[in-house]
Chain A
Amino acid sequence: MEEAQIKVTDLCKNFKTYKREAGFLEMVKSFIKRDYVIKNAVKNINFEINAGERVALIGPNGAGKSSTVKMLTGILEPTSGSVRVLGSDPFKERSKVVRNYGVIFGQKHNLWWDVPAIDSYHLFKAMYDISDDDFRKRLKVVRNNLGIKDYLKTPVRKLSLGERMRCELGLIFMHNPKIVFLDEPTIGVDVVGKKKISDFLLRINKKFNTTILFTSHDMGDVDKICKRAIIINEGCVIFDGKISHLKKEYVDSKTLHLKFNKPLEQKTIFDKEIEKIGTSTYRLIFEKTESVSAFLRKVLGDESKEVIDIRIIEADLNEIIRNIFEGKT
């Protein structure tokens, strides 16, 4: 069997954080000696990612997620354990490995600020040694699929955030990277832009088998783009598997919306508490063990009430994640 494209084994990272005191006396003391605390940001992380996978890296801020990504991209040296990408150590052989990466770190930009985006594209062309032919072809793909044709000639500082992010995204695909790291790429982007971005990522992934590592707090995007999720909390991997599995297993309740032909007077239906959310629409929550279908049979069979609309609310990924972090699971 082929070795995984990305292989992380027993990865650990410790940081020294210096204490910053508030009072005046402490400040003077800190001139001479500083107290520090060792923080274990990443504690023995293991996972493997194969080529072409679309993985979401989820975790609260400060959970070790960004440190992990930094170690994968060769920016940070691990304290112990190993990272192997495309058969090499990204830290020790940074230049060689990084050539295959496309990286977007949220607020930081690859695009030069004062010049049109296309100039930055040409710079990347020189940097990554992209042939004229490939450059032209890929530029066409990127221009059309991200809808940035008109934006490329405008100075980047004049673009809106959404327009800029799309240009950034196009930029990192010009050298056809094998692995793409996206950290909060859709923050501040409007709905139309987000759709263009997610469609583009899915298309590229399908066509070129590009591995996508996606970090985001936007669960809507995560759900749309990624198939697998690795959840990191307090430096450890607490979940690694399919997102569909996450939804099935970790949701502990189902939500049902029922709309009747007229408002009800009772507070319960068949001993089930109901919450009014509209003139005649009500929300009901079912625990994992309860049967929704059995309940529905009873309600639909009840002639005293007429149901005109039924909706089963899908498990909300945001809520699942929140529950996980708040330790409810």
Chain B
Amino acid sequence: MSALSYIKQQIIIGLTSRAEYRFSFFLFIFLSVVLGFLSIFVTYAVYDATGGGVPGWSFYEITFMIGVYTFIRGIYEMFFVIRYMPGEIRRGDLDMDLTKPLNLLTLYVRFDIDNIGRLITAFLMFWIAVPNINLQLSLFNILYFIFLVIIGLLAMFAVDLFVITFAFFVTNVNSIQNNLDNIRSRFCRWPMNLYPKSMQLFFTFVFPIIFIGFVPASFFLGKEIIFAYWLSPIIVIILTLLSIKWFYYGVAKYTGTGS
């Protein structure tokens, strides 16, 4: 299969499906951008009410970090929609996916244009934050930052895959999905270094959400984290492979016991 033509067609489908709902689409994007600023608003309120906020981070630095998180989430959820798989399993639609000659994961590479809102939010956050922070600008830093963002995408994938695999065992993973999503977004909105070391290690080696925003932002801001930056790709890649194994274990269970 030509990967390029497949993704190209997915993009066409993604765009065409919104073409008719143009007005509500733009309104939707506008609202999601507004909603995206909620976390910034809360941060602002905290800094406004306390003056000092959180140790080691200024309001703009946190805004930048949330921007990175929002960007990673936006890109990930735009191109990879496996979070809809539990719904398909529940409706019995997964069987149709299994009759296709493509790998199950590949089938969920799509183009979900609704996430454009997130990308816009992220860029607005960068717009606000960047003039007010000290980015350690150098060619190497810029490249490594981009690399860490990609690692963040991979971490997002690993976490997502881990969560939705539960759908193969339990009919309704709604709560699991929602709660873990909730934990992820809440933890990623504040700098991780204000939590005890044990928690930080947990969110590095077990539930690797530390990479989805905090690590790349900290790097670019020249801040220290509890492990060496160069360990990031190693940790994330190992966890991703484990997640994939876990996912296929779930698939085997599903095809063994049926629906």
Contact = CB atoms under 8 A, between A and B. Distances in A.
Direct contact between the two chains A and B in their complex (CB within 8 A): yes
Interface of A: 13, 15-16, 67, 70, 73-77, 91, 94-96, 98-99, 101, 103, 105, 108-110, 112-116, 119-120, 122-123, 125-129, 155
Q: Which 8 A-B pairs rank lowest in CB-CB distance, beginning with the nearest?
A: A114-B17, A126-B6, A99-B101, A126-B5, A103-B99, A115-B16, A123-B9, A77-B256
B1 interface: yes
Contacts of A76: 255-256, 258
Given A76-B258, A123-B9, A126-B2, A105 B96 contact: yes
A70 B1 contact: no
Given A75-B99, A119-B9, 7 more contacts: A75-B98, A98-B99, A114-B20, A119-B16, A123-B9, A126-B9, A127-B101
B50 interface: no
B10 interface: yes
B95 A123 contact: no
Contact of A122 (B9, B18, B101, B256): B9
Contacts of B8: 126
Nearest to B101: A99
B231 interface: no
B92 interface: yes
A98 B1 CA distance: 14
A67 B13 CA distance: 33
B9 to A, nearest CB: 5
A116 B15 CA distance: 12
A127 B6 contact: yes
B1 A127 contact: yes
7 contacts: A16-B257, A70-B95, A75-B95, A91-B255, A96-B101, A103-B99, A114-B18
B100 A105 contact: no
Contact of B13 (A73, A109, A115, A128): A115
Contacts of B96: 103, 105, 108-110
A67 B258 contact: yes
Q: Which of B5, B6, B100, B103 has the most CB of A within 10 A?
A: B100
Interface string B97-121: 0111111000000000000000000
A15 B259 CA distance: 9
A98 B17 contact: no
B12 interface: yes
Nearest to A96: B101
A129 B100 CA distance: 12
Interface of B: 1-2, 5-6, 8-10, 12-13, 16-18, 20, 92-93, 95-96, 98-103, 252, 255-258
A27 B23 CA distance: 47
B111 to A, nearest CB: 11
A127 B255 CA distance: 22
Contact of A105 (B1, B95, B255, B256): B95
Contacts of B92: 108
A98 B101 contact: yes
Contacts of B95: 70, 75, 105, 108
Nearest to B21: A114
B258 A98 contact: no
Contacts of B5: 125-126
A128 B16 CA distance: 22
Given A67-B258, A108-B93, A129-B1, A95 B103 contact: yes
Nearest to A102: B99
Given A77-B256, A91-B255, A155-B20, A122 B98 contact: no
B255 to A, nearest CB: 5
A230 B99 CA distance: 22
A119 B17 CA distance: 10
A105 B91 CA distance: 13
B2 A129 contact: yes
Nearest to B255: A77
B16 A126 contact: no
Nearest to A97: B101
A38 to B, nearest CB: 12
Contact of B258 (A15, A95, A99): A15
